[in-house]
Amino acid sequence: MIKLVTDKLIIRDHLSDDLKTHHQLMSDPEIMTYIEDIQTHSLEESRENLMFSIKESKKEDRTCYFFAIVEKDSNCHIGSIGFTILDRNETGGNCELGYFILKEFWHKGYTTEAARKVIDFAFNTLNMHKITTGCIAENENSEKIMKRLGMVKEGHLKQHVLHDNIWKDRVEYALFKNVF
């Protein structure tokens, strides 16, 4: 089991005991506003999503690293963060980062703190070369996290994502190992 520790957080592989909070996160329309494609609509869908993460964590040639964000002081599961390896070879690899957190923990720096630790793990333990992420352009809070992480804007894709039946812009950010 992977377990990463920061000042305020424990970032670890998911456990079956995470189901209640996982469902709370994955099924909340406000939390999932900009990532509706992965939102769940039943406890069973959330369970399937969680079991996928758990199964991935046991694979030898793992490509999906999806973690629970746990507040150290309360030992409460407050969010999820992770990345998917898109490609890798002997010189490194590229992966895509994603994150979401319970509303009561928004604007407290937890997501940025968790992302820094996960990025460090991807670069220094797994030898990733590049980490990308992005969001619908109107999701200013997510974009602020990307900027705080030192990510560089690589693109602004016009009318790229169908969201709420409207074609919306998407911004793309990246970070390279030699810059982190």
Q: Is the dihedral of CA 134, 136, 139, 140 positive or negative?
A: positive
Please enumerate in sequence order all residues whose Cβ is within 8 A of that of 171, keeping only pairs 6 or more positions apart, or say none: 134, 135, 137, 143, 153, 155, 156, 157
Q: What is the pLDDT along the chain (180 residues), one digit of tens a residue?
A: 999 999 999 999 999 999 999 999 999 999 999 998 899 999 999 999 999 999 999 999 999 999 999 999 999 999 999 999 999 988 899 999 999 999 999 999 999 999 999 999 999 999 999 999 999 999 999 999 999 999 999 999 999 999 999 999 999 999 999 876
Count Cα atoms within 13 angstroms, Cβ side, for 122.
Answer: 35
Instruction: Report yes or no: 169 and 137 within 8 Å, Cβ to Cβ.
Output: yes
Determine how many CB atoms are found less than 10 A away from the CB of residue 144.
Answer: 13
CATH number attached to the domain at 3-129: 3.40.630.30
Cα gap 81→56, rounded to integer Å: 14
Nearest to 139 by CA among 177, 168, 166, 110: 168
Domain ranges of the chain: 3-129
